[in-house]
Amino acid sequence: KPVPVQRRWKGEVSALRAQLQRFKRKSEDVQEEFDSYRQKANAALTSNASQVEAIQQKERLAEQLGEQLHSERAELAKARAERDRAFDDVAEARRRQQEANRETRELERTLDRRCREWEDKCESEVAACRTTLQAEKASVERAGREKERALQKELDLRRSMKDALEEEVETLRARLASRPAAAPAAVAE
Backbone angles phi, psi at 48, to 5 degrees: -145, 120
Q: pLDDT: is 112 or 3 the higher one?
A: 112
Q: What pLDDT was estimated at residue 176?
A: 84
Q: What is the DSSP string of 31-47?
A: HHHHHHHHHHHHHHHHH
Q: Which residues contact 5 (CB under 8 A, 6 or more apart)?
A: 89, 90, 93
Whether residue 23 contacts residue 76, with contact meaning beta carbons closer than 8 Å, is answered with yes
CB count within 10 Å of CB 35 equals 12
Q: What pLDDT was estimated at residue 124?
A: 92
pLDDT tens digits, one per residue of 44-92: 667 765 666 766 788 888 888 888 888 888 988 998 898 899 889 889 9
Rounded to whole angstroms, the Cα distance separating 102 from 115 reads: 20
